[in-house]
């Protein structure tokens, strides 16, 4: 069973962002499987870095769409993204010091608590702005 199963009620109604979110869940689950399977530090590093990097890229895409519709909640939303990204980078630093398995579990714990809540509440608040009138209205 995946650590974080995707469910359709997590949709924000924008296919590009739903696809990003599904990918994030898949990457969390891949790291979880690698940890549970006793994978090597090199493999954990690959999954760990991919998740942190993809998260940064996703945040940039999401923030660009919020900016495009002049979403008033963008500053506080961006701050939530920044705080999660900062924590991810801190854990990456710890990972590089050699604590691959426990730090990977810390990253999984961070995402498992944060991501679903963020999508439901903070991302859910931009529904009706982001993705509406994207054809140039």
Contact window for Fe ion (CB under 5 A) among 18-26, 32-40, 54-62, 64-72: 54-62
- Nearest alpha carbon to residue 4 among 110, 79, 89: 110
- Distance between CA 130 and CA 61 in Å, rounded? 11
CB of 32 to Fe ion, least distance (A): 21
Contact window for Fe ion (CB under 5 A) among 1-9, 19-27, 58-66, 107-115: 58-66
Contact window for Fe ion (CB under 5 A) among 17-25, 27-35, 62-70, 105-113: 62-70
With both helix axes pointing from N to C terminus, report the angle between 100-117 and 74-96 in degrees, rounded to the nearest 10. Answer: 170
The smaller minimum CB distance to Fe ion, of residues 24 and 44, is found at 24
The smaller minimum CB distance to Fe ion, of residues 40 and 83, is found at 83
Q: Is 136 exposed, middle or buried (0-12, 13-18, 19+ CB in 10 A)?
A: exposed
Tell whether residue 20 is a contact of Fe ion (CB under 5 A).
Answer: no
For tokens 């506080």, what's the residue?
A: 76
Question: What is the number of the residue whose Cβ is closest to Fe ion?
Answer: 123
| DSSP H helical ranges for the chain | 15-36, 41-68, 74-96, 100-117
The smaller minimum CB distance to Fe ion, of residues 84 and 103, is found at 84
Give yes or no for a contact between 47 and 71, defined as CB atoms under 8 angstroms apart.
no
Tell whether residue 123 is a contact of Fe ion (CB under 5 A).
Answer: yes
Q: Residue count at the site for Fe ion (CB under 5 A)?
A: 2
The smaller minimum CB distance to Fe ion, of residues 44 and 115, is found at 115
Task: List interacting residues with Fe ion (CB under 5 A).
Answer: 62, 123
């Amino acid at each position: 069973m995946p650590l974080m199963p995707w469910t359709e009620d997590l949709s924000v109604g924008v296919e590009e962002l739903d696809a990003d979110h599904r990918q994030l869940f898949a990457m969390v689950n891949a790291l979880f499987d690698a940890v549970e399977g006793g994978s090597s530090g090199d493999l954990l590093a690959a999954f760990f870095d991919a998740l942190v990097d993809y998260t940064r890229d996703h945040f940039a895409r999401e923030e660009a769409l919020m900016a495009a519709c002049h979403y008033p909640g963008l500053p506080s939303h961006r701050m939530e993204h920044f705080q999660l990204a900062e924590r991810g980078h801190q854990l990456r630093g710890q990972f590089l010091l050699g604590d691959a398995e426990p730090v990977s579990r810390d990253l999984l714990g961070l995402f498992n608590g944060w991501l679903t809540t963020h999508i439901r509440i903070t991302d859910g608040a931009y529904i009706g702005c982001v993705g509406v009138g994207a054809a140039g209205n």
